[in-house]
Structure 1
Amino acid sequence: TTKPEQGERCALTGGGWSSYYDEVEVTEARKLDIDHMVPLAEAWDSGAYDWTAERRQAYANDLGAERSLVAVTAKSNRSKSDKDPATW
């Protein structure tokens, strides 16, 4: 990755990213999605319904784990949808 510059209204210019799922090099931030490696729906189906509201919020916004939220091409994110990573 190459760090972008942040301009007016938080617009990003420059920069480069490697899409986590398909390794496509992207130079326009708007062509990326930020995706949960394990989708929220899958987490719910796997037991997150028993979590406290605070724990669910922490999972949904987890920036501490390297693969919790990943930058991916919109195309690969649409393909994955809310599937479990093991079945995608």
Structure 2
Amino acid sequence: MKSVWFYIYNIIALPLLKIGLYFLSLFDKKIRTGIKGRMRLFENLILNLTDLDRSKKLIWIHSSSLGEFEQAKPIIEQIKRNIDINIL
């Protein structure tokens, strides 16, 4: 049996959080931009995946912050030089 906290979180907390973020996005451009970016996230991912050459190996590089992305840039550039690899 699922605990009461599971239902409180999924039925009350998450919807309230979503409503709160949409309300705050009316006043904060950064929140509004973040919401718009997340709405198109999976559409862009699907488009990028369909354009890949399936005969090549795929390397998926994930960075959770801008700092991590900046540190990964030299590695990405080195991998891009190899024409037999797709980078996502």
Under a length normalisation based on structure 1, what TM-score does the superposition of the two structures give?
0.22
Larger Rg: 2
Whichever structure has more helix as a proportion of its residues is 2
Under a length normalisation based on structure 2, what TM-score does the superposition of the two structures give?
0.22
